[in-house]
Amino acid sequence: MSYGILSFGGYVPTLRINRQAIAQAIAWAVPAAKGLAKGERAFANWDEDSLTLAVEAARDCLQGFPREVAQLQLASTTLPFADRSNSGVVADALRLPATVTTEDLSGSRRAGTSALLRLGVAPTGPATLLLAADCRETRPGSPQEMLYGHAAAALLFGEGEPIATVQGAASVHEDLVDQYRSADADYDYAMEERWIREEGYNKIIPRAVRAAALSAGIELAEVHRFIIPATATVAKGLAKLLGVNEDRLVDPLAGQVGDCGAAHPLLMLSFALETAVPGETLLVVGFGQGADALVIKTTPKLAALQGSRGPARYLAQKRVIDNYTMFLSLRDRLQIDFGMRSERDNRTSQSAFYRRRQDITAMMGGRCSACNTLQYPRSQICVKCAAMDAQVPESLAELIGRVKSYTEDWLAYTPLPPYIYGNVEYADGANCMLEFTDFAPGGVQVGSEVRMVFRIKDFDNRRQFRRYFWKPAPLLA
């Protein structure tokens, strides 16, 4: 038994926007954008945010592990609530124990790697789930609109048989403002690219990297893979400065996902762990008003988890769109007039929500201890055998359902028409009428198998509150 990384996970939203579509739409105003119009970028659906992204990455990471997590840490620069425990919402969705310690980490794109550093250098500690997720918005026509992406990653730390251990780490603080976003702003403000590269990346990161290698007692030539969350040009320049071969640089996923902010170093690490072999040494870098660097070494236990988790499956399952207006609308950068049907007051009764919070956030149903019938929501009387007070709590969130009936409604309001809803049935009797997500028109069929995903149910724009619930989505390929 030793302490280290026990599991990893990642999540990339299904939706992608072709960068060529962006360039063509804004060419009249920003002709230079065509220089960035390569590949795709991932972006969150209207019902996704940094919390829902984090939940999916955590579920990917926790496959096969008991959810006896003592600590949950959520790193993000785009947390939806300024005064509510964001990590607490995630903990409830994951059905973690009520004794779990939750912590929101923000304020820097290094929030994820700084937390990783603190956990990694500890010789021991309680089981900790580290999540990093970002869903940064971009000004239409800006370089960030081309370069950014949305994603999340997860690492499980604890005692056991680690798949990887942190061998050494170092951190350098320098308040070099390469970009920033004030508390009341929607978009990041970035400085001049060359200055950031010369004064930031090229001067700060090498100091942290060399200090981490010294801490681990290795030479940089012994590192098999360098995880540097930067453009290919910047990463290659750093490789040259560090005296290492470019072929050791991990794919930054720029052409498939984009820069995912605080989540990006951990996403790249999860991506690398999917193909790493035992005994490999990886060096992870975080950058933003300084730099973090960690030396991580894999163990033979890694092979048992490969192929069942990580971002590769989500990278493969995508829905590419070429409609720039749709992209802007889904990210609420363009307010389409959907007519009177979209006008409704979505006030949440907080007292009712609190009483049924497990049913809603954890999709907790009940299984009858007398006849084994599963139902949702729980009730005092079994729907099949009428046994009283016989239901044992059981979540439907991890179950595979089957579409029993459905409707594609092009008249009802939804930010991404059509509004798809229907009846989903589960083994042992449960049936639920639910709103579907991530299906293209014509993608749902009677008999289709679906998985459940944690998503935004709706927004209360008058009171600035958002509600979450579970929705059926396509199975992973």
Torsion sign, CA atoms 231, 232, 237, 242: positive
Tens-place pLDDT, residues 67-98: 999 999 999 999 999 999 999 999 999 999 99
Q: Taking residues 11-25, what's their average pLDDT?
A: 97
Q: Going by CATH, does the domain composed of 2-330 fall within 3.40.50.300?
A: no
Distance separating alpha carbons of residues 323 and 240, to the nearest angstrom: 40
Distances (CA, A) of 184 to 82, 167, 187, 207: 11, 40, 9, 33
**Would you list the domain boundaries of the chain?**
2-330, 340-474
Task: Give the pLDDT mean for 430-444.
Answer: 96
Question: What's residue 345's pLDDT?
Answer: 84
- pLDDT, tens digit (0-9, with 9 covering 90-100), for 373-431: 999 999 999 999 999 999 999 999 999 999 999 999 999 999 999 999 999 999 999 99
Question: Shortest CA distance to 398 belongs to which of 318, 456, 454?
Answer: 454
Average pLDDT over residues 199-207: 96
Write down the pLDDT at residue 402.
Answer: 98
Q: Which of 57, 476, 422, 26 is nearest to 269 (CA)?
A: 57
Q: Which residues are CB-neighbours of 21 under 8 A, at least 6 positions away?
A: 321, 322, 323, 324, 327
Please tell me the distance from the alpha carbon of residue 475 to that of residue 466, in angstroms, as a whole number: 26
337-360: per-residue pLDDT in tens?
A: 999 888 888 899 999 999 999 999
Residue 1 pLDDT greater than 80, yes or no: no
What pLDDT does 477 receive? 80
Strand pairing partners for 259? 148
Residue 445 confidence (pLDDT): 96
Sign of the C-alpha dihedral computed for residues 8, 136, 117 and 176 taken in this order: positive
Written as one letter, the residue type at 229 is P
Tell whether the model's pLDDT for residue 218 goes beyond 90.
yes
Q: State the average pLDDT over residues 296-311.
A: 97
